[in-house]
Chain A
Amino acid sequence: MAEPKIQLRGVTKAFGSKKVLTGVDLDVAKGESVVIIGGSGTGKSVTLKCILGLLRPDAGSIKIDGREVTGLSTSERDQVNRQVGMLFQGGALFDSLPVWENVAFGLLSRKQCGRDEAREIALKKLALVGLKPHLADAWPSDLSIGMQKRVGLARAIATDPEIIFFDEPTTGLDPIMADMINELIVHVNREVGATALSISHDMESARKIGDRIAMLYQGKIVWAGDPDSAEAAANPVVDQFVHGRVDGPIKMQVRA
């Protein structure tokens, strides 16, 4: 097997006495789309933030393209982040900048091109996520949540990254809008040919955008496989989550 694009080995992370990740192992192959599923508060976002370098794992190794990325200096980290795009859960658009500058932010900050050219690219990416050019000069706060997500998606793909991360891409959207975002992600994944790692607790979405699904439970990846086999998985944790049952090994912790 070729070298995985992203490789996690024994990644642990604790906040104070609360152990969130207890040893995450995960491989994502080049061009593959993997969705990490799991209940709220199981550490999906923490895993993503560790890979992105926003959080430093306590132990374990994270490799991107075979290169160890834990403990990199800020400038080395920037080099790695150049090939990465990220769609944040709430969009995380910069509300002090108009839409097109949001989309072109990565291009401008990396000085890959001038402002005119960056605007051209931004308009192209906006068209790709189905937004009309006249919105380019609107302010993020004037857009609906669904539109903000699309702008966030356009920003994530603006620099043609090799890896794109999606943090709960469909959360807080109505079913139609959620499906539209899913289609966009699949489309972008194929169009750009990027490796995608998403986190979600929306099974519908996971099935649609994932080539492979990995289940995070109690700080570990307890199961991984293609979406169809998730339906019939023998693992009781996966079975409970996929079918959304109250009874099973996952107990809702009302109070930790």
Chain B
Amino acid sequence: MKLLQAIGRVFLAFLGAAGRLIMFAITAVTHCFLPPYYPRIMIRQMIEIGYFSLPVVGLTAIFAGMVLALQSYTGFARFSAEGAIANVVVLSVTRELAPVLGGLMIAGRVGASMAAEIGTMRVTEQIDALTTLSTNAIKYLVVPRIIAGVVMLPILIFVADIIGVFGGFLVAVYKLGFNPAIYLQNTWDFLEPLDVISGLVKASVFGFLVALMGCYHGYYSKGGAQGVGAATTNSVVSASILILCFNYILTEAFFGL
């Protein structure tokens, strides 16, 4: 009996949390289309997500591209298919690696800071203070972050695409002895617009998920420093899992048969 009770309790708590998250998401998205907007805060968030994340996402992308060229060479050399390396690098980077790895890095960098900041505002009553000052906390705190995430991540990931492909190019040319012109030609020939576009759409969805999870966990955090810490962890973990999960769904939608 005890065991059943425990299972039931956990299950109900899970359903409650899922429902609350969905309600939060619906409210947040609705408010994205209703004025007033806070352009100052939105611009600050955009700079935070887009500009200050460049180093970390760029480094992730360049090493991903480099290791990809190196690994596919070991594989393809056995079949004398070295020419396909450029193809593998550009497709993997634009379709999968840049958006997914970039999204995960952003979840750690930006999502965590959103949860910590909003969580601290919650436990120090700053969110209550917003309400008493006739300011809708969802509009003021959540909407700018979600819009910044949705808009800036694709731009960031587009840059990461270029850096990632460049990483592969570096390894192919300087380590594996490819002809730079032919490598670039191969890269360009195989690339189709859909490869890049699908990656950017993914990036936009991931940006939404990261901002949503960061804001949600921050908004409902409670109980002082410990609560804020838990909110930060939860935001990163849940955003990461959702990114991997939605990555599959989106890939299926774009390329599945």
Once the chains bind, are B125 and A89 in contact (CB under 8 Å)? yes
Grouping DSSP codes into helix (H, G, I), strand (E, B) and loop, the B interface class, with mixed when no group exceeds half, is: helix
Is there a chain B Cβ closer than 8 Å to A54's Cβ? Answer: yes
Is there a chain A Cβ closer than 8 Å to B5's Cβ? Answer: no
CB closest residue in chain B, given A110? B134
Once the chains bind, are B132 and A86 in contact (CB under 8 Å)? yes
By a CB distance below 8 angstroms, the chain B residues around A94 are 121, 126, 129-130
CB closest residue in chain B, given A49? B128
CB closest residue in chain A, given B121? A94
Interface size class of B (residues with CB under 8 A): 10 to 19
**A: number of interface residues (CB 8 Å):** 24
How far in angstroms is the closest Cβ of chain A from B40?
A: 10
Complexed CA–CA distance, A57 and B124 (Å): 22
By a CB distance below 8 angstroms, the chain B residues around A53 are 131
Is there a chain B Cβ closer than 8 Å to A192's Cβ? Answer: no
Pick the contact of A105 from B121, B128, B135 — CB < 8 Å? B135
Complexed CA–CA distance, A82 and B81 (Å): 72
Pick the contact of B132 from A52, A90, A96 — CB < 8 Å? A52
Is there a chain B Cβ closer than 8 Å to A88's Cβ? Answer: yes
Pick the contact of B134 from A88, A90, A93, A109 — CB < 8 Å? A109
Once the chains bind, are B125 and A81 in contact (CB under 8 Å)? no
Complexed CA–CA distance, A106 and B129 (Å): 10
Q: Which residues 74-109 in B have Cβ within 8 Å of A in the complex?
A: none
Once the chains bind, are A78 and B134 in contact (CB under 8 Å)? yes
CB closest residue in chain A, given B126? A92
Given known contacts A53-B131, A54-B131, A81-B131, is B125 in contact with A74 (CB within 8 Å)? no
Is there a chain A Cβ closer than 8 Å to B133's Cβ? Answer: yes
B interface residues, Cβ below 8 angstroms from A? 117, 121, 124-126, 128-136
A interface residues, Cβ below 8 angstroms from B? 49, 52-54, 74, 78, 81-82, 84-86, 88-90, 92-96, 105-106, 109-110, 155
Closest 5 CB pairs of A and B: A92-B125, A92-B129, A86-B132, A106-B133, A78-B134
For the complex with contacts A78-B136, A81-B134, A92-B126, 18 further pairs of A-B residues with Cβ separation under 8 Å are A49-B128, A52-B128, A54-B131, A74-B136, A78-B134, A81-B132, A81-B133, A84-B132, A85-B132, A86-B129, A86-B132, A88-B128, A88-B129, A92-B129, A94-B121, A109-B133, A109-B134, A155-B133
Jot down 6 A-B pairs with beta carbons below 8 A, ordered by A.
A81-B134, A85-B132, A92-B128, A106-B134, A110-B134, A155-B133
